[in-house]
A and B are shown apart, each in its own frame.
Chain A
Amino acid sequence: MALSTADRRFLADLSSTLIPMSARAAVDVDVVANIDRMLGRANARHRSNVFRLVRWSRRISMFYGGASMPSRAAGSRLVAVQKLARAIASLCLVAFWADDRARMLIDDPRVIR
């Protein structure tokens, strides 16, 4: 079981709305590759939970501006949608900020100027 091509594209698009271009350009962190790395070490249950999260988020994103889903869905009246948006945003942000290369952005913020 692995992320589909559509899932990967969705996660990459999502990351580009969550992490400014300047930050992404300053460090060479591939969010989707890092999600793969995390899933490669996860147990089967975790993996299937993450696959489900990605699949549902991608489906629901059609109603909430596609890759802009995290910000648009935050205003939804449905708390479940807000939580889903928060969870998928958190997955992408963890995959970026858990990478040691991203520490440069906080240890030396001048790299993005």
Chain B
Amino acid sequence: MIREITDTHRGHIHSAASSPPAAIESVVWDACVVGSGPGGAVAAATLAEAGWRVMLIERGAFRPPADMNFQLLDMAMRLGRLELTRGARTTLHSGSVLGGGSVLYGAVAMRPPSFVFDEWATQSGIAMLNDVALAPYYDHVGRHMSVTRQAPRLENRANAIVREMADALGCPDGLEIAARYTAGCRGTGLCTIGCGFDLKGTMVNSFLPIALDTGNLTVLTDCEALALETSESGAGRRATAVHAGSLRIRARYFVLAAGPLPTNGVLMRSRLHRPSPAGHCVSLQPHGLIYALFDEPVTTPGEANGVPAIYNFTGMLQQRRYYWFASSLHPATLATYTAHLPADEHQRVMSRFHYMSAVTITIRDAPAKSRIGLHRDAPELDFEESCGDIDAVRRCFVDASRALLAVGARRVFLPMLQPPRVEQPDDVSTIERMPMSYDRLLLYSDHTSGGCALGARPDRGVTDAYGRVRGTENVHVADSSLFPSACGVAPSWTIMALSRMIALNLVASANSTRPLGRS
């Protein structure tokens, strides 16, 4: 169901860039939520529906759907933020707009498989961290986000290639029908620059209007949270305000849901603990695109390639730590992934655009070292991939190349600075031998997680089973920073489910101690 931010709602959305109302600083809010992506919006809606007066702050601007178009030149740098990891080893993408990452994601709704939950339960020591216990929260979110399974009858050539690849690998059962937050996609393939049709389920057309409907939510955009102001209390430190730009916003509870880098950054700047336990065990879960050139056209002019993605090939996720799906294809992305070619050859490849297909690969990584730290007071991820991560990337490249060649590809383009020429099965052995590191791969991450893991005991996690930061009375985390390890799949549904669980628990525990809000 697509909801709208109405004119009435807009009266509750202010920008820090244009003199926000003085009341924002004079009121002591029941809760201040930092970040308006899947974690923040669901937490804000849950708290506002419970009658809490909620202040939500977002570092980006409010961009209504009418403000969006499908011109890559206009939108490419407008809605997101791109961070480099330490040493510029890889890039991290995140939203910087009201609605956060949901405005940029592909709207793919996935739940982690049971082996991931088993791993999380072991790592965290929290038995209830499983698919069954979280099911009511997943269901609640799923209803509001119109989670819809794709219809196999929509299969186009690019999706057929993914299906045939599964057969070629002898793993037809590894294919699952994808679900998405949309019941009416028009298939432009440009979800990652914001849907100008407003048909993609985002926080701006779901949980934020729900929260604004209550009249209990106030939104402040263009406002970046820097640090919490805290005081000593009996049961640990108590946050009293968040410093955001030049503003000081006071609240009884704080929910950090701005994504791993900002959330860990706020905790570190707040100096709640010395040294800070936050920022460790961060996963990138990186992606890359593998292109393949075919003899026959995959698309026709004016038609999007691989959209909508019908299948997720997850059959190798547990054993080989990767999955893939048919990727949307735009000339600009093909141009950058083949930029290593000499100009004339590059032009020839570009002229065969409609003969190209691509899969987006995702690696479930477990870095050997990964730590968010402050560099010139800004959070920065310092990471080093593990041997297992490199093995997973290599296996993925080998399997994808073999499968693509088996289903008729003439040439495969791997996401590397200097990729090998892969045109026949014998070429695949080159991939098995070549030195590989993230420095030489063209990977990016918009599934970064960890840093404030859930844990039953202090040695297991920075936060307790309900997302409360240990050593604090009233600071909670509600984003992918909570994940004990990479979730292996698109994380948004899990972020929303955990956020719902944390916010409901916060309401229940707070209401048992003192009344809050208007109702």
* Nearest CB of B to A86, in Å: 6
B301 within 8 A of A: yes
- B 358-373 binary contact with A (CB < 8 Å = 1; else 0): 0000000000000000
On chain A, the residues within 8 Å of B353 by CB distance are: 106
* Nearest CB of B to A110, in Å: 10
Q: Are B343 and A43 neighbours in the complex by a CB distance under 8 Å?
A: no
Q: Are B335 and A97 neighbours in the complex by a CB distance under 8 Å?
A: yes
Q: Are A79 and B73 neighbours in the complex by a CB distance under 8 Å?
A: no
B426 within 8 A of A: no
A9 within 8 A of B: no
On chain A, the residues within 8 Å of B354 by CB distance are: 106-107
Can you report 12 A-B residue pairs in the complex whose CB atoms are below 8 A from each other?
A: A38-B74, A42-B78, A43-B78, A93-B336, A97-B330, A99-B73, A100-B71, A106-B353, A107-B301, A108-B301, A109-B351, A112-B351
B235 within 8 A of A: no
Q: Are B342 and A80 neighbours in the complex by a CB distance under 8 Å?
A: no
B88 within 8 A of A: yes
B7 within 8 A of A: no
Of the candidates B96, B344, B353, B440, the one having the most CB atoms from chain A within 10 angstroms of its own CB is: B353
B417 within 8 A of A: yes
Considering the chains assembled together, what is the distance between the CA atoms of A6 and B336 in angstroms?
24
Taking a contact as CB atoms closer than 8 A, the residue among B60, B332, B344, B351 that contacts A105 in the complex is B351
B231 within 8 A of A: no
On chain A, the residues within 8 Å of B344 by CB distance are: 20
A18 within 8 A of B: yes
- Per the 8 Å Cβ criterion, residues 59-91 of B in contact with A are 60, 71-78, 81-82, 88
Q: Are B331 and A103 neighbours in the complex by a CB distance under 8 Å?
A: yes
- Per the 8 Å Cβ criterion, residues 34-65 of A in contact with B are 34, 37-39, 41-43, 45-46, 49-50
Q: Are B417 and A79 neighbours in the complex by a CB distance under 8 Å?
A: yes
| Size class of the A contact interface (CB-based, 8 Å) | 35 or more
Known: A37-B73, A83-B417, A100-B71. A49 touches B82 (CB 8 A): yes
Q: Are B347 and A93 neighbours in the complex by a CB distance under 8 Å?
A: no
Considering the chains assembled together, what is the distance between the CA atoms of A100 and B88 in angstroms?
31
Q: Are B417 and A98 neighbours in the complex by a CB distance under 8 Å?
A: no
Looking across the interface, which residue of chain B has its beta carbon closest to that of A100? Answer: B71
On chain A, the residues within 8 Å of B439 by CB distance are: 79, 83
Q: Are A94 and B336 neighbours in the complex by a CB distance under 8 Å?
A: yes
Of the candidates B335, B336, B346, the one having the most CB atoms from chain A within 10 angstroms of its own CB is: B335
Known: A83-B439, A100-B71, A105-B350. A20 touches B340 (CB 8 A): no
Interface contacts beyond A41-B78, A89-B339: sample of 8 additional A-B pairs, CB < 8 Å, sorted by A: A17-B343, A23-B347, A38-B77, A42-B78, A94-B332, A95-B73, A98-B331, A100-B71
* Nearest CB of B to A72, in Å: 12
A96 within 8 A of B: yes
Q: Are A94 and B418 neighbours in the complex by a CB distance under 8 Å?
A: no
Q: Are B346 and A94 neighbours in the complex by a CB distance under 8 Å?
A: no
B11 within 8 A of A: no
Q: Are A43 and B351 neighbours in the complex by a CB distance under 8 Å?
A: no
On chain A, the residues within 8 Å of B76 by CB distance are: 38, 94, 98
Considering the chains assembled together, what is the distance between the CA atoms of A4 and B334 in angstroms?
29
* Nearest CB of A to B58, in Å: 13
- Per the 8 Å Cβ criterion, residues 306-355 of B in contact with A are 330-332, 334-336, 339-340, 342-344, 346-347, 350-351, 353-354
Considering the chains assembled together, what is the distance between the CA atoms of A105 and B340 in angstroms?
20
A-B contact count (CB 8 A): 102
Looking across the interface, which residue of chain B has its beta carbon closest to that of A90? Answer: B336
* Nearest CB of B to A47, in Å: 8
Q: Are B347 and A86 neighbours in the complex by a CB distance under 8 Å?
A: no
Q: Are A107 and B302 neighbours in the complex by a CB distance under 8 Å?
A: yes
Q: Are B351 and A106 neighbours in the complex by a CB distance under 8 Å?
A: yes
Considering the chains assembled together, what is the distance between the CA atoms of A39 and B346 in angstroms?
25
Looking across the interface, which residue of chain A has its beta carbon closest to that of B437? Answer: A79
On chain A, the residues within 8 Å of B331 by CB distance are: 97-98, 102-103, 106
Considering the chains assembled together, what is the distance between the CA atoms of A108 and B81 in angstroms?
35
Of the candidates B74, B331, B340, the one having the most CB atoms from chain A within 10 angstroms of its own CB is: B331
On chain B, the residues within 8 Å of A112 by CB distance are: 351
Q: Are B346 and A18 neighbours in the complex by a CB distance under 8 Å?
A: yes
Q: Are B81 and A43 neighbours in the complex by a CB distance under 8 Å?
A: yes
- A 64-88 binary contact with B (CB < 8 Å = 1; else 0): 0000001100100001101100100
Considering the chains assembled together, what is the distance between the CA atoms of A90 and B78 in angstroms?
18
Q: Are A82 and B417 neighbours in the complex by a CB distance under 8 Å?
A: yes
* Nearest CB of B to A30, in Å: 11
* Nearest CB of B to A77, in Å: 12
Q: Are B77 and A42 neighbours in the complex by a CB distance under 8 Å?
A: yes
Please give me the 7 A-B residue pairs with the lowest Cβ-Cβ distance, nearest first: A42-B77, A98-B72, A107-B301, A106-B353, A93-B335, A90-B336, A98-B332
On chain A, the residues within 8 Å of B75 by CB distance are: 41
* Nearest CB of A to B64, in Å: 15
Q: Are B88 and A96 neighbours in the complex by a CB distance under 8 Å?
A: no
Considering the chains assembled together, what is the distance between the CA atoms of A58 and B96 in angstroms?
29
Known: A93-B339, A107-B301. A39 touches B77 (CB 8 A): yes
A19 within 8 A of B: yes
Considering the chains assembled together, what is the distance between the CA atoms of A15 and B189 in angstroms?
27
On chain B, the residues within 8 Å of A107 by CB distance are: 301-302, 354
Looking across the interface, which residue of chain A has its beta carbon closest to that of B440? Answer: A79
Of the candidates A39, A46, A102, the one having the most CB atoms from chain B within 10 angstroms of its own CB is: A46
* Nearest CB of A to B66, in Å: 16
Considering the chains assembled together, what is the distance between the CA atoms of A19 and B301 in angstroms?
21
Considering the chains assembled together, what is the distance between the CA atoms of A17 and B81 in angstroms?
29
- A 8-24 binary contact with B (CB < 8 Å = 1; else 0): 00000000011110110
Considering the chains assembled together, what is the distance between the CA atoms of A43 and B343 in angstroms?
31
Considering the chains assembled together, what is the distance between the CA atoms of A90 and B339 in angstroms?
7
Q: Are A20 and B336 neighbours in the complex by a CB distance under 8 Å?
A: no
Q: Are B350 and A41 neighbours in the complex by a CB distance under 8 Å?
A: no
